[in-house]
Amino acid sequence: MTRVDAIGRRRAREAALQMLYLAEVGRAGAHEAIATYWPSREPDEELAVPHREFAEVLLRGTLARTGEIDALLSAHAQNWRVERMAIVDRLVLRLAVYELLAEPDTPAKVVINEAIELARTYSGDEAIPFVNGVLDAVRKELKRE
């Protein structure tokens, strides 16, 4: 993967997180979140078609497997119920766990690092150790390297 692809995939993850937020807060499905999100982007924020498709795959997959993902999060987020987590932290974790489950070609350390960057950008520094610890525990359970 080239640096350009890595940047595009990072932007795709960011778009997926924003669409997940639209779905969560607006109680919308994937279709509605996608239909609302893309037209609201500025022209200079456009993603290449493969990255846009990757963002949509992440969104749809995360929403489709929320029950399975939340079970993994509940098992590894000590003293935290999933529904009590901050919305952004919960969505970052769900997105990353989905990617750990469904994208075996992406190294686990890349998934975790990208989740940490999303948490740093959209949640804050206090979320970083929490996201890192939960995702590392999930990674170990899934036996991902």
3-state secondary structure of 12: helix
- Cβ(94)–Cβ(62) below 8 Å: yes
Q: Which CATH superfamily is domain 3-142 in?
A: NusB-like (1.10.940.10)
Q: Which two tokens stand for residue 74?
A: 């509940």
Nearest CA to 80 among 133, 21, 139?
133
Separation of alpha carbons 31 and 22, rounded Å: 11
Q: Which two tokens stand for residue 139?
A: 């990674």
What number of other Cβ atoms are within 10 A of residue 140's Cβ? 11
Question: Can you give the residue ranges of every domain in the chain?
Answer: 3-142
pLDDT of residue 18: 97
Q: Which two tokens stand for residue 43?
A: 């022209």
Separation of alpha carbons 135 and 45, rounded Å: 29
pLDDT of residue 24: 95
- pTM > 0.85: yes
Segments in the chain below pLDDT 50? none
Segment 57-94, tens digit of pLDDT? 999 999 999 999 999 999 999 888 999 999 999 999 99
- Tell me which DSSP letter residue 145 carries: -
